[in-house]
Amino acid sequence: MKPLVDSEILVKAKQNLRPETVRKDQRLDVRYHIEHPLTKDRPRRFLHAFAAILRNNPSYGLALEHYIRVQVKCGRCSVECMLYQATHDPRDVPCYRSSLLLDIYRRYFTLGGRVWGELTGRHDLTDEKLQELAGAVWDCTACRKCSLECPSGIDHGLVTHLSRYILSEIDIAPRALVVSTREQLEGKTGNTSAFPWPAVNDGLEFLEEEMLEEKGVRIQFPLDVEGARFVFFPAVSDFMMEAETLMGNAAVMAATGESWTIGTKYHDGINYGLFYSDRMWDRIVGKVDAETRRLHGKEIMIGECGHASRSAKSGIPMFCGGKQSLPVTNCMEYAYEAWRTGKLRLLHGSIKERVTYHDPCNIARTKWITEQPRELLKHICEDYVEMTPNREENICCGGGGGTVSIDELRAYRTGVSGKAKAEQIRATGAKLCVAPCANCKKQLKELMEDQNVDCEIVGLHDLLYKAIDYSQLEKSQSIQADGVEREPQCLAGVSEAAAK
């Protein structure tokens, strides 16, 4: 089998896109900017951070110890890795990538490795090895597809996650992610995109007017409502860039009459900590938890975003109180439950174009959310098709693991790591691809553009917004408002569709 990507394109995509001066300053030949080029003593600082992490988190020690014992180096993972499929470079095999860290672990943190290492002087950690690791773990999107096929059960995504964490502690982390996280945790705006609240607020008011105009019903974004069932945290980019998704979210909540709110103090679901640092992961979910508790919300609802959902779903109970922590729901789970129980009425077959569904890795790989959006789509779409493979075996969009936020990587993401996805979508012939994830959406939009695939990338709620039976909403809102049932006043177009 040939690699998916020609060697010429590969060389071009792998070229360093930064000015030479920056690279000299970093003393690190990777394809992304880092911020603090402290070049001195990197290997020693790396080992110091590695030791501190192992000491304070037994999970990593358990996993690494197990992996060095069971790793049989069979190479089966290569078949699952979209990166290897694109390049056929042995260094892109997940097992090889994981070995970069596992070898360091074996050399410095196991008795045999230490003795052997001291005796032979081989396998010592060098700047070159760190550079290879730093490049490899940011080429990988940590999609964890390889873990499905590994007969030894190695979760290469976990090894990538840990590698990035240790590297970040010696200031080797993509500038794009660090700057966003700094703004989210320490900046004035308190969100990764640095949107000031007045701008977000204006945007929401505009969307409310838009919905009134389009659907003839008043749908609101309730702000700072205390005691609501759900406090809503979308990926903050949705507020400005994915208006349709956000309107869909509001419409679903309004149509089902459920109490929900958006906190004015904190409203960003994005959590780059999942991508590069457990310390940041912890602090960010702490803010989500604090805002929900400030508003006396009963549940945390995360918008259409794979990593935001996973980082909250596993991070909130992990870092914020275990069994006593607040429940976390993804908005698609809610929409599906509401539709299944009859609370949400959707017009059957109201989307005419051919639609396909892309599973975001972070919500599909463990089968958390795979069927819910499909059931909704099968109901509202006239021509729904699957891409293969799908569900927990989906192919990553090529921009996972935070790499989509690193602009320097664009040529690589759309030319190499996203190549398999582009062909997969092209093969469906779909005009609309539903990708319920802010990261996947950005990557897939760039991918469709760069790979010339004629397919529009949308969110699930973009389509729900179009498919909701607004007559029901008008009714429930009227009852809510004054207790008197009124005739629904909906737009002619919607009534016609309903009649069909």
Partner 1 sequence: MNESVQSMLEFARGPLFRFAFALMVLGLVRLVALTLYGAVRTYLQAGDKRLLWPVIWQRTLWVLFPFSRVHRTRPVYTAVSIVFHIGLIVTPIFLFAHVHLLGQATGITWFVVPPLAADVLTIVTIIAAVALFSARISSPLSRELSRAQDYLWPWLLIVPFASGFLGAHPSWCPISYQIMMLVHVLSADLIFMMIPFSKIGHCVLIPFSQLVSDLGWRFPATAGKDVAKALGKESVPI
Is residue 79 involved in binding partner 1 (CB under 8 A)? yes
Alpha carbons 21 and 473: distance in angstroms, whole number: 59
Is residue 60 involved in binding partner 1 (CB under 8 A)? yes
With CB under 8 A as the contact rule, the residue among 73, 114, 352, 378 that binds partner 1 is 73
63 versus 241: smaller Cβ distance to partner 1: 63
**Rounded to the nearest 5 degrees, what angle is found at the Cα of 166, between the Cα atoms of 165 and 172?**
85
With CB under 8 A as the contact rule, the residue among 25, 149, 210, 383 that binds partner 1 is 149
Residue 265 Cβ, how far from partner 1 at the closest point, in Å? 19
Write out the two tokens for 171: 């200031």
Is residue 186 involved in binding partner 1 (CB under 8 A)? yes
Residue type at position 187: G
Q: Which stretch binds partner 1 (CB under 8 A): 72-80, 246-254, 412-420, 480-488?
A: 72-80
Q: Which stretch binds partner 1 (CB under 8 A): 225-233, 242-250, 276-284, 355-363?
A: 276-284
User: Which residues have C-beta within 8 Å of that of residue 270, sequence separation ≥ 6?
Assistant: 180, 184, 191, 192, 235, 236, 237, 284, 305, 307, 308, 438
386 versus 454: smaller Cβ distance to partner 1: 386
Residue in the block written with tokens 């006043």 = 489
49 versus 225: smaller Cβ distance to partner 1: 49
44 versus 279: smaller Cβ distance to partner 1: 279
Order of strands across the sheet that contains 230-233 = 260-261, 230-233, 299-302, 328-330
Strands 328-330 and 351-357: unpaired
74 versus 199: smaller Cβ distance to partner 1: 74
- Enter the DSSP assignment of 478: H
With CB under 8 A as the contact rule, the residue among 12, 44, 52, 427 that binds partner 1 is 52
Strands (E) across 331-371 are located at: 351-357
Is residue 137 involved in binding partner 1 (CB under 8 A)? no
Q: Which stretch binds partner 1 (CB under 8 A): 5-13, 123-131, 321-329, 352-360?
A: 321-329
Alpha carbons 57 and 48: distance in angstroms, whole number: 14
- What burial letters (b/e) apply to 1-23, b meaning 16+ CB within 10 Å? eebbbeeeebeebbeeeeeeeeb
Q: Which stretch binds partner 1 (CB under 8 A): 69-77, 227-235, 300-308, 345-353?
A: 69-77
Interface residues with partner 1 (CB under 8 A)?
48-49, 52-53, 55-63, 65-66, 69-76, 78-80, 88, 90-91, 93, 95-96, 99, 147-149, 151-155, 158, 169, 178, 181-182, 185-186, 278-283, 314, 317-323, 325, 366-367
